[in-house]
Amino acid sequence: MKAAVLGAGSWGTTFAQVLADADTAVTIWARRAEIAESINGLHMNPRYLPGITLPSALAATTDVAAALDGADLVVLSVTAQTLRACLTEWTPLIPPDALLVSLMKGIELGSCKRMSEVIMETAGVPDSRVAVVSGPNLAREIAERQMAASVVACTDEHSARMLQRACHSGYFRPYWNTDVIGCELGGTVKNIIALAVGIAVALGLGDNTKATLITRGLAEMARLGEAMGADPRTFAGLAGMGDLVATCSSPLSRNRRFGEYLGQGLSTAQALEMITQTAESATSYAPVLELARKFGAEMPITEVVAAVITGRLSVADAAAALAARSAKPEWYGSE
């Protein structure tokens, strides 16, 4: 089994380590020469994972054709909004039977497509050749080889199991399922809820508020997911509740930190500048709301996050906007 990981950011580098530690031969493609040189020479990626020593078996290159040569697994770890352009360039170099794996947790602006849909459309491959990895997987903790679990999903069980074997290491336990839609929506919506939690943290609100946002965020995620055809059980699992709890609880989360900066009074542009890494919620809130409208799913927390990001609602008024909504039974559908 040979893997190419395309994208040497925090999660791409960490997942490449997981693959190498699971005895899968892996080459990582980095956009910047200094990152590839540092991975090859020092076994480090100080830009994204300072202080972490990567496996010596992990090879890096800036030559995407070399990384893709003979790859059985092509792991895509750029950002949601750059995937289509990158993959358009890479598609002619991808081996014909390779499984394409998305690590990304976002929705494409404009098309409102999930990452697996962008991959199928751009690379011209069937769903049986596209898998996703999603779960409570804060890169830094996994890079430190702290025990974690995740979900690898593909509509084709055989492909899901193959990916599972390729990334099952001593500290990383992947489960498989066939619910690609549920896993992708879980990963995307939890980033938006984590942003809301970040705002709450910055405002000094306590655990009741956080638990409320997490629980109602889960309801929101499941409502959209079920309307789009996901398996409801996914949202009770690692790619749903698991990732939501990890991201909303962790100061390591870039999406939560983004919310904290907004809560401290920074503008959206200033907050993004502070993060210096990808915070997918900053863009994915818009296509998620479009999907919510299209599929008739009510997503009040996402609406409030969108209003704050676009400057239509102040952070000071955000909690009140949620609390003042009309009273409802706890369980209701998307009507």
Ligand X SMILES: O=C(CO)COP(=O)(O)O
Question: 122, 159, 255, 283: which one contacts ligand X (CB under 6 A)?
Answer: 255
134 is in an annotated binding site: no
Residue nearest to ligand NAI (CB): 9
CA distance 183 to 115: 11
User: Which residues between 293 and 332 bind ligand X (CB under 6 A)?
Assistant: none
Q: Which two tokens stand for residue 8?
A: 């040497």
How far is residue 246's CA from residue 190's CA, in Å, rounded to a whole number?
Answer: 9
Told to check if 179 binds ligand NAI by CB under 6 A, we report no
Nearer to ligand NAI (CB atom), residue 150 or residue 177: 150
The tokens 């992947």 sit on which residue?
174
Per CB under 6 A, the list member of 84, 105, 114, 223 interacting with ligand X is 105
Interface positions, 117-176, toward ligand NAI (CB under 6 A): 137-139
Euclidean distance between CA atoms 25 and 298, whole angstroms: 45
Least distance to ligand NAI, CB of residue 322, Å: 25
- Give yes or no for residue 27 binding ligand X (CB under 6 A): no
Between the alpha carbon of residue 224 and those of residues 20, 131, 248, the distances in Å are: 36, 21, 19
How would you list the strands of the sheet with 73-76, edge to edge?
A: 59-61, 25-29, 2-6, 73-76, 99-102, 130-134, 148-153, 172-177
Piece of the chain touching ligand NAI by CB under 6 A; list 2-10, 155-163, 228-236, 261-269: 2-10
- Residues 285-314 interacting with ligand NAI (rule: CB under 6 A): none
**CA 55 from centre of chain:** 24
Based on its alpha-carbon atoms, the radius of gyration of the chain, rounded to whole angstroms, reads 19
**Residue 98 to residues 4, 62, 124, 287, Cα–Cα distance (Å):** 10, 20, 12, 29
26 is a contact residue toward ligand NAI (CB under 6 A): no
* Residue 184 binding ligand X, by CB under 6 A: no
328 carries a ligand binding annotation:
no
Query: What type of residue is 114?
Result: R
Q: Which stretch binds ligand NAI (CB under 6 A): 101-109, 166-174, 229-237, 294-302?
A: 101-109
Q: Choose, from 190, 210, 294, 328, the residue flagged as catalytic.
A: 190
Of 315, 302, 279, give the one whose Cα is nearest residue 203.
Answer: 315
Q: Between residue 34 and residue 73, which ones bind ligand NAI under the rule CB under 6 A?
A: 48
Contact yes or no for 287/312 (Cβ under 8 A): no
How far apart are CB 143 and ligand X at their closest, in Å? Answer: 12
What is the set of active-site residues? Answer: 190
Residues binding ligand X (CB under 6 A): 105, 136-138, 191, 194, 243, 246-247, 253-255
Residues binding ligand NAI (CB under 6 A): 7-12, 31, 48, 77-80, 82, 86, 103-106, 137-139, 277-278, 280
